[in-house]
Structure 1
Amino acid sequence: MRLLRSAPRDATMIPERRITHRYEDPSDAVWVACAARLGYRIARGDDVYAGFDGGDTITVATGAELDPDDSLAQIIFHELCHALVASDDARRQPDWGLDNTGERDLVQEHACHRLQAALADRHGLRAFMAATTQWRPHWDALPADPLAGDHDPAIALARAGWTRSRQSPWREALDDALTATAAVAAAVASAAQHDSLWSTYKPLHPLGSRVGPEGVHCSNCAWRFRAGPGYPVDRCRQHRDPGAAVAPRIDPGWPACERYEPPLSDASCAACGACCREAFHLVPVGVRSALAKARPEWVVRDAHGAHLPRPGGYCVALERGPGGGLPEAPYRCSVYDLRPRSCRDFTVGEDACLLARQRVGLSASPPLSATTSGA
C-alpha cells in the first residue's frame, strides 16, 4: 500500500503521528557532548561561520551556510583547539582574542591547525577533521609530525596546547570524542561514497601510527628485531616508548606503518655515514691502538679522554665525496682497517645505528604527539 504525503479526504481515518525524536549525525552528537564536558554550549546561527562569545557559548553556522566538506563536529573540534592554544586571558575574550580579518593572528591560527592535526592523527582522522575554508591549503601543507621543528613560531604554541590537552579534563573529553569518532568512521568508511568525508578515514597501524606504503609489512622493516624477555619474539624499535625496557611486540604479517624502512646492510653505509657525522660527538680511541700510532695528529686528549674529534660534525677520518664515482654513496672511512673498537662494535641496523640515522634525519622519529609526556 502506498501512503501519500498529502492528507486523505477523510483525515480522521489516520491518527496524527507524534514525532518524538530527530536524526542527529553521530559525530556531531559526540562533539556537542565533548564541548559540554569542557563547559561550552553549542549554539547554531547564521550571523557567524563560527565564533566564541568569550563566556561559554560557541556558535556555529547552520548547515546551509557551511561548505560541503564542513561538519559541526570538525568545527567544534577546531574551536576547542583554539581554546587550548589561547592564553588564559584570551580564553575569556570573544573569538579567543583573535581577529582573522588580517594577518595579525596568523601564528595563533596556524598553531591551532598543528595541534588539531596532531590530535586527529592519533586516531586516523586528519583528513576527516581537517580545517576547511581559506585555511585548507595551510592544513594540507602540514608535515607528518605537525609538532616537530622550531622553524615556525606556531610550533611552540601548538606544543603548549598539546601539553594542556593532556591534562584533565581536556584529555579525557578529547580522547573519548576522538575515539568515538574513529569508531563511527571505521564502521562507515567502507560503505561511504568516494566523495564522502567518511571515506577519508584511514585505519591506524596496530601500534598506533598511520599505515605506510602498500605491499610492505613489518616482517621486512629495518626497525623489526627479535628479543625477549623470555623466548625471543618480533618487536619494533620505532615504537618503543622512551625509557621503556621492552619494545612492543609486532606480528610480522601486519602492514607496515608510515615509518617503514627497508632493512639495512653493510652496503647501506656508504650512502648513510650517520654514525660518522653529527649523530655522535666523538669516537673514543685507545692511546696505544694501531690508529693512534698511525695517525697521532688526529687524536685529541682532553676531559673526554683520547678521541677522534668531529670538526663541523664530521669525523676526521671520514672521506666525503662520491664513492667509486657514485654520488649516492658519498661516505667512506679512510682508516677502516684501523678503526677504533667502538666503530668495530657498531652493528648495522642495531639500536645505535638507527638512533644515529634518526639524529641526522635519515630515519623517521616518532611524532612528538606519540612521545610527549601523557600521550
Structure 2
Amino acid sequence: MPGSLVLVAGEPGIGKSTLLLQVAEAISQLSGTVLLVSGEESVYQLKNRARRLKVSSPNLFFMAETDLDVIEEEAKKLSPCLLIVDSIQTMYTPEANSSPGSILQVRESALRLMRLAKEEGLTTIIIGHVTKEGSIAGPRILEHLVDTVVYFEGERERGHRVLRVVKNRFGSTNEVGIFQMRSQGLVQVDNPSAVFLSERSREVSGSAIMPTLTGNRPILVEIQALAVPSSLSVPRRSCNGVEYSRVLLTIAVLERRVGLNLKDLDIYLNVAGGLRIVEPAADLPIAISVASSFLDFCVDPTTAILGEVGLGGEIRTVQSVAERVREAQSLGFKKVMLPYYKNWDFEDREVEGIEMIKVRSLRQALDVVRS
C-alpha cells in the first residue's frame, strides 16, 4: 500500500537482503523508481550482489548511508515508489542522543521513516535483525509502529526459507511464501511437500508424516524422533522445529495414558527440512514418532497422521482437515490417520484412493500403526 511501513524481520544471514534486492528488481521493472539504502554494505558490494543475482533494472538505485537526514533528502529528491532500508539497527538520527542499534535510536529512526512514508506516500520496507528469541533491539519494539510485519524464517544451513506475515493492516495474514536459496538467489518452491519428503527414509523407526498448515497452505513434512538411553541424571529433551512445551506434554501423555516408560531416555525431535510447526495438529505425529523410536517399529510410509492429543489421551479435532487430506492424496498417500469426528465435510463421501483411519485415543492410534 502506498505510504505503508513494512518490517521484514529475521535472523542475521537468513537471506533478508537477498529477498529485498529481488523484490526491488521486480518492483522497479513494474512500477517505477526504487531506492535501496544499505547501512551494512558499500555501493560496490551492493552492485556485486546485484550482478550475481542478475539484477540490472535502470530504475533501481543504490545508496550506502546510515544518516537519516541524508536518506530523507535523497528520497524526497528521487521520489521513488519504494524505499528499502537495510537495516534499521544501522540507521542513525541526530534527534536521538545514543549510538546506532540502541533501543532509542531504533525507535526514533523507525518513527522518522514512518513520518516520511506517510507524508510522501512512500512505501517503505525496513529490515530488522532478531535472534530466535527476538532479543536483539529492534523488531519487537517496532511491531506496534509498523503497518505490516513479515518474518523470514529457516535454517541458514538449509536451503528452504518461509516468509510468514504476522501482522497486516491492509490484507490477510494467512498466506506464506516458501523459497529455496540457490546461487542465483531465492527461488519459489512450487511443490513444498514433494521437496520436504524427497529424502525421507521409508524403512526406519521414529518417523511420521504430517500434513501441516503454513497459513492456508497444506504441506506434508516428516517428523523424526530418536529415543535413546540417557547417561544423565536428568534426561535430555531436544526439539528442532516443534514447540518444546507441546513435546513435553505429549511425552507425559505417552507415559501416563499409554504406559511407555520414557523417563530414563534422551528424546530428540526434528522436523526434516527446517520447517517450524506451531500447531496442535502436530501432537499425534509427535507421539507416534516417539513411540515408534522407543518400541522400534516402522510406521507405514503411505500413511499421513494429524491430530491434537489431550491430557486424557483423547485425540481432538483440528482445522482444515479436508485440505490436508487432499494434499496427502495428491502425493500418493494411501491412508490418513485423523481424529474421530461425526461432522467432517467428507464424512459420508468416498475419497478416491485414500483410506481415512479415525481414532479416538492415543492408545488406539498406536495399536493401529503397530498392526
TM-score bin, normalised by smaller chain: under 0.3
Query: What TM-score, normalized to structure 1?
Result: 0.27
* Greater share of residues in helix: 1
* Greater share of residues in strand: 2
Query: Which entry has the higher C-alpha Rg, 1 or 2?
Result: 1
Query: What TM-score, normalized to structure 2?
Result: 0.27
